[in-house]
């Protein structure tokens, strides 16, 4: 990956999978280990899948994904033309309750917890009928999730 990657694609599950494959292929050109690339993929996949599932629940749309390799990590900006986030901000997200039996764990609902745990400088704004989610994923010494 050069210092910048931009992918623009339809807000569909299939298009998200294709974009993630392209993104990971580009990330492999950086000096990052497999665990860091996996964490980046997880965060971006969670964000993109939330857009498809929620912002485009009742409409079709387009997603614009931009990654910039910077001095303090990988900067990500995701824009879409779907519905705004409830309350105008990203959900807090709750950690999973690991005190229950494995079969009683819920299947999902931890995406925003993971996003907040792995990223830094998380921001959201709604501008002219577009959502813009931004965050930084540390890739050096600061990479360890909080």
**What's the pTM?**
0.86
Please state the φ and ψ torsions of residue 145, each to the nearest 5 degrees. Answer: -60, 150
Q: Does residue 141 surpass a pLDDT of 90? A: no
What average pLDDT score do residues 119-127 get? 96
H or E segment to which residue 23 belongs: helix 13-27
Q: What is the mean pLDDT of the chain?
A: 86
User: Who's near 138: CB < 8 A, 6+ residues apart?
Assistant: 72, 73, 120
pLDDT, residue 101, reads: 61
The better pLDDT of the pair 19, 87 is held by 19
The pLDDT of residue 20: 98
Average pLDDT over residues 48-68: 94
Provide the pLDDT confidence category of residue 96 given band limits of 50, 70 and 90: low
Q: What is the pLDDT of residue 86?
A: 86
Whole-number percent of the chain with pLDDT over 90? 64
Sheet holding 73-80, edge to edge: 4-10, 62-70, 73-80, 130-137, 120-127
Q: Cβ distance 131 to 55 under 8 Å?
A: yes
Is residue 144 pLDDT above 50, yes or no?
Answer: no
């Amino acid at each position: 990956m050069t210092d910048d990657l931009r992918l623009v694609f339809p807000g569909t599950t299939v298009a998200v999978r294709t974009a993630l494959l392209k993104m990971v292929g580009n990330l492999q050109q950086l000096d990052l280990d497999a665990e860091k690339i996996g964490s980046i993929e997880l965060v971006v996949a969670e964000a993109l899948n939330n857009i498809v599932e929620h912002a485009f629940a009742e409409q079709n749309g387009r997603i614009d994904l931009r990654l910039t390799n910077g001095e303090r990590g990988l900067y990500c900006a995701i824009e879409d033309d779907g519905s705004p986030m409830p309350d105008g901000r990203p959900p807090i997200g709750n950690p999973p309750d690991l005190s229950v039996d494995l079969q009683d764990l819920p299947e999902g609902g931890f995406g925003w917890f993971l996003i907040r745990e792995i990223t830094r400088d998380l921001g959201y704004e709604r501008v002219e009928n577009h959502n813009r989610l931004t965050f930084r994923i540390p890739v050096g010494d600061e990479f360890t999730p909080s």
